[in-house]
Every structure is written in C-alpha cells, then in structure tokens.
Chain A
Amino acid sequence: MHIPDGYLSPATCAALYAGAAPFWYVSLQRMKRAFNTRMVPLLSVFAAFSFIIMMFNLPLPGGTTGHAVGVGIASIVLGPWASILGISIALIVQAVFFGDGGITAIGANCFNMAIIGSLAAYAVYRIVSGRSPIASPRRIIAAGVAGYVAINLAALAAAVEFGIQPLLYHDATGAPMYAPYPLRIAIPAMMIGHLTIAGLAEMVVSAGVVAYLQRSEPGLLKRTAPGAFDIGGAAGNLRLLWFALAVLLILTPLGILATGSAWGESPPSPAPSGLRALSSFWTAPMPRYAPPFLKSAAFGYLLSAMVGTGLILLVVLFGGWMLQNRNARSRAG
C-alpha cells in the first residue's frame, strides 16, 4: 500500500499532492478550532501511535499475517479531520525517516490512506453504528466494517493510480516507464491482497480496539458518536420494549378470533363453597373483559384491553416519576 518512489510519474505525484493539499488545509483549520493548544501534542502522539500500530503483525485466518494502518481506529476515536492529519504525519515520518513509501509519493500515499481511508472509515462507522449505545456490539461490527472498507478503498485508489501509468507514460518503444501494469491487472492484483489479508488486519485491529475501549475507556468513543445513548444500552432496549408493546396492542383483536375460552381460567363447576363465598367479595368493573354497559362483546374486549394497558402505563409512569423525584431530592440533599 505504501507506494515507493518510481512507481508513479512526477505529474501523478504532483496532482496527488495538489489533491491532498486542500484536505490538509481544512483539517489543520478544523483541528486548530477544535483543539486549540491541544492540537500539537494530540496529533504528535496519535501519529506516533499510528506508526507503531503499523508495526504490529497480526496472525490472520489462513495462517498468514498482515499489519494494519490504524486509519479505522484513528477516524473512530479522533474523527476524520484529525485522522487525516495524524495518519499523514505518520506516513511522512515513515517515508522520510524509515524509507517506507517514497518521498515523491507522499502526496499519493496520504491521499489514499490518510484522506480516502479516514473519510471512508468515518462515514461507514457512522452509518453502520447509527445511534446505537457506546457499549453496543453493533459498534464493534461497525468499526470492523469501517476499517475493512477504508483500507480497500485506499487500495483501490492506489491500484487506479498504478493502472493509469502505462497508459500515460511509456517510452518510444512502448516500454512502461513507471508502474508497468494496466488497470485490468493492477486492480485485481492490489485488491486480492487487500480484500483478503490487509483488509482483515485492519478489520481485526479496528473491531478489537473498539471492543477494548468499550470495556475500558468508553469515553474515547464518544467523540464520533454524538447521538449514541449513554447508559449501557438501557435506553435502546427500552425503545425496543415500547415498540414490542405497541405491536402487542395492535394485535389485541386477534383474541376475538379465537374460539372457546382459555384453559383453566373458568371457575370449576360446581365451584367449591369457599370460592362461592369469596366471589361476591370484589366485583370487577369489567368482568370477563365485557363491560356490562356495552352490548358488543368484541368492542368490550378491545376497550378492556385499552383500559388495562392504559392503567398499567399510568402506574408505571407514576412510579417512574416518584422514583425520579426521590433521586433528585437525595442528590440535592
């Protein structure tokens, strides 16, 4: 993925530097606004972290190993703009100091991995995770998918850059002067490795780190989860319960279609004398789900269901209100 010197023509490199420049500028301005004096240490330390993550070789299914770029996790924790700058800085240090990636190709590498990768990872993560709670397993899946998609889109961009070289740059004899393979070879050659190995590595790291942060430092996941529920999934589950309750209410008329009566609910015949004595102790306002003031049994059944659920809701809401009041008083005291 790190394009070395000599694979891309100077014109392609210049175009990709020019393409990356506005993103760097906007990222820098946004970071200055968002982090102020925190920006320099945050970006430095995060770029160093990304650099080290690229040195972790992960064992992957199939017995092979691969390393992640860290673009997925950087976008999830810091957001896309900080990730663009952080990963770019890591790539520049790699190219200049460690010779991993070419100096003339810094613009191309940053454009592919830092810019396309960060924006893709962020978009996919936000879309897949939705408003799920911070601790939701959905966020782990979202992180994995984000890392996988990001690294593959970055690889696709690199493959296209390679693939156009022989079309545009060849000498008088037709010999390719830079990357030698046309698009029909460059794209599958790059994508096979990334769809299988490199993509998996990024997916494992992104999902694994998010799972770790959910357990240990959920606060770090909040920056890119503005709509997420805070309390460990309780709000999300409550919404699901409300939905289930509404469905049950809508399905209430199904009881009218059933024939006969529910087993075990009818009093035994003849009723024991003790039960007969107690039966007049309390007379229900809607006995047997059939209010006496209604002639239609079906409508009476529906009305009973609505009144019953309504009463339960009122009791629950009243109980909740009481509890909230008590908690508020104890906090104030």
Chain B
Amino acid sequence: MQGYVERTIASLIAASERAAIAEQVAFSEGALQRVDPRVKVAGLFALIIVVAASRRVRVIAALFVVAALLAAASNVRMRRLAGWVWSPVLFFTGAIALPAVFLTPGRPVAFFGITAITEQGLRGAAFLIGRAETASTLSALLVLTTPWPWVLKALRVFRCPMIVVAILGMTYRYIFVILQTAMEMFEARKSRTVGVLPPSERRRLASSAAGVLLSKSVHMAEAVHLAMRSRGFRGEIYLLQDFRARAADWCWLGGFAMLATASLWWGR
C-alpha cells in the first residue's frame, strides 16, 4: 500500500515539477525564447511534418542535430532533454523497433543462431527511432522555450477556433488544480494508512479516488461557470493578440522555411 500511494504521489509531483521547470526555462534567456511564438509554432510544426515526410534517414538525422543545437542555444540542458525526451522515446520506440530488425524480410547482414538481422529491418528501425526522437525533440523545444499561454495564442495563426484555444488554456490551468487535489487526497490517505493493503483494496482506493476527483471536478466546473458568469461571460471569447513580429522574427521565419523546404527536397 505504501509503495502504491507513494508511487502515485511521486508521479503526480513529477508532472507538476516538470511543468514548473518547463515554465522556468521558457522565461529564461535563450535563442528560441526571443523568437515570436507564432514563428516558433509555425517553424517547429513545419519541421515536425518534414521529419514525418522524409524518406531519408540522413535528413532525419540532420534535423535531429539541428534540434539539439537549437536546444543548446536556448538554454535547454542536454541532460534534461535526455531524461525527459530521448531516453523515454528510445526505451519505448526501441522496444518496438528491435524485433523488426529480425522480423523484416530482406537481405541478411548478420546472423544470430537461426535468425538474421536484415538490412531492411535495420533501416526500418532507424526510420522509426530517428523520426520519433527528432519529432519529440522539436515538440519539446516548443514547450520548453514558450510559455503555454503564448503557445495557445499562437495557435490562432492556424485558424484554430477561439473557443478551442480558450478551452485548452483553461484545461492546462485546471490540470494543476486537480493535480494538487489528487496529491492532497493521496497524502491524506497515506497519513491514515498502517500496514500493507491487498491489491483489491488498492484498486478500490484508486477507483474511489477517481470517483471523488470526478465529483469535485463537476462541482468545480459549476463554480467556475458561475464565477465566469459573474464577471460577464456570455459565451463569447476574446483573446488579446499582443504579439509583434520584429525583423529578427522574420529572419527566423525565413530560416525555418528554408530549412523545411531544403529538408523536404533532400528527403523526398
């Protein structure tokens, strides 16, 4: 029981800490932090699409290097990227790609007993891992160098409906409110628990905790709605558009466009 509650609390705290660190990095000084969020969203999303579309491993590898250099220039520590992005992606995608090295039919390049590693299998694994690592690094760069509310405002560039942007913003805010509530619930339970509970009791605890959270969420939604109404909310949503693109931002946009186009052409 102790282990279960502590693990759950630890994972909740980890998510909370990660968000806090991301925000801290986003407000620090760095190359990408100075770029207009609209340019960053457009540029990094374009590069992610190019990574997905590329038919050459070398192009994907080159974009990975570019992403790592951008991270270094933006005050994003390599150790943090390795811990948050590279290792989990390698662990997850590597586990999926590894059998493909043996199972994909093709020209054998090395033999292991009755099985053989094929060239096609290796290339397939390289595509999968390379794409997953590079795209994850690029999307992490966006979040680590841009405060979330700015990312959301920048989404309006893509004609994302205003109501969706508002809901995404509020969701992000209430994730931390509910996260805090969940942590307090588990802490309270931990302080009242002696000994080890059987798995069935742990399942019951998790279900009850989910039920209580649901109940609180519904009441919270009602309270938030009343608060919004009291401030004059009538269903229309307005967002302040206070971004101003400078000459440097246009240069960045040009750089992203050139890189994306060149990569797309090279990787076709």
Listed in ascending order, the chain A residues whose CB lies under 8 Å from chain B are 4-10, 13, 28, 36-38, 40-49, 51-53, 55-61, 63, 68, 70, 73, 77, 85, 89-90, 92-93, 95-99, 102-104, 166, 171, 173-181, 185, 204-205, 207-209, 211-213, 216-217, 220
Contacts and interface: CB of A to CB of B under 8 A. Distances in A.
B73 interface: no
Interface in B214-252: 214-215, 217-218, 220-222, 224-225, 228-229, 233-235, 237
A216 B143 CA distance: 39
B112 to A, nearest CB: 18
B218 A180 contact: no
Contacts of A4: 89, 92-93, 132, 135-136
Nearest to B12: A55
10 contacts: A6-B132, A38-B222, A44-B174, A46-B217, A102-B135, A173-B106, A179-B128, A185-B103, A208-B211, A209-B210
Given A45-B221, A49-B178, A180 B124 contact: yes
B199 A5 contact: no
Given A45-B174, A179-B128, A180-B100, A89 B167 contact: yes
Contacts of A180: 97, 100, 103-104, 121, 124-125, 128
Interface residues of B, number: 92
B45 interface: yes
A36 B253 CA distance: 39
Contacts of A97: 19, 22, 143, 148, 172
Given A48-B177, A56-B210, A96-B143, A41 B127 contact: no
Interface string B1-24: 000100110011001001100100
Given A40-B233, A52-B12, A166-B124, 8 more contacts: A10-B49, A40-B167, A95-B139, A96-B139, A99-B84, A173-B107, A175-B121, A207-B207
A119 B166 CA distance: 25
Contacts of B49: 10, 104
Contacts of B15: 55, 98
A99 B132 contact: no
Nearest to A77: B214
B8 A57 contact: yes
Nearest to B14: A55
Interface of B: 4, 7-8, 11-12, 15, 18-19, 22, 45, 48-49, 51-53, 55, 84-85, 89, 92-93, 97, 100, 103-107, 119-125, 127-128, 130-132, 134-136, 139-140, 142-143, 148, 151, 161, 163-164, 166-168, 170-175, 177-179, 182, 199, 202-204, 206-215, 217-218, 220-222, 224-225, 228-229, 233-235, 237
B228 A41 contact: yes
Contact of A205 (B52, B100, B128, B206): B206
Given A40-B163, A40-B237, A175 B51 contact: no
A31 B239 CA distance: 21
Closest 4 CB pairs of A and B: A208-B207, A6-B131, A212-B211, A5-B135
Given A57-B7, A211-B207, A174 B106 contact: yes
Nearest to B41: A96
Contacts of A45: 170-171, 174, 178, 217-218, 220-221, 224
A42 B221 contact: yes
A216 B136 CA distance: 42
B48 A171 contact: no
A37 B225 contact: yes
Contact of B48 (A104, A176, A179, A204): A104
Contacts of B229: 37
A216 B225 contact: no
Nearest to B107: A173
Given A45-B224, A177-B55, A178-B127, A58 B203 contact: yes
Contacts of B174: 44-45, 48
A98 B218 CA distance: 24
Contacts of A41: 170, 221-222, 224-225, 228
Given A57-B7, A96-B151, A6 B51 contact: yes
B134 to A, nearest CB: 8
Contacts of B166: 40
B171 A73 contact: no
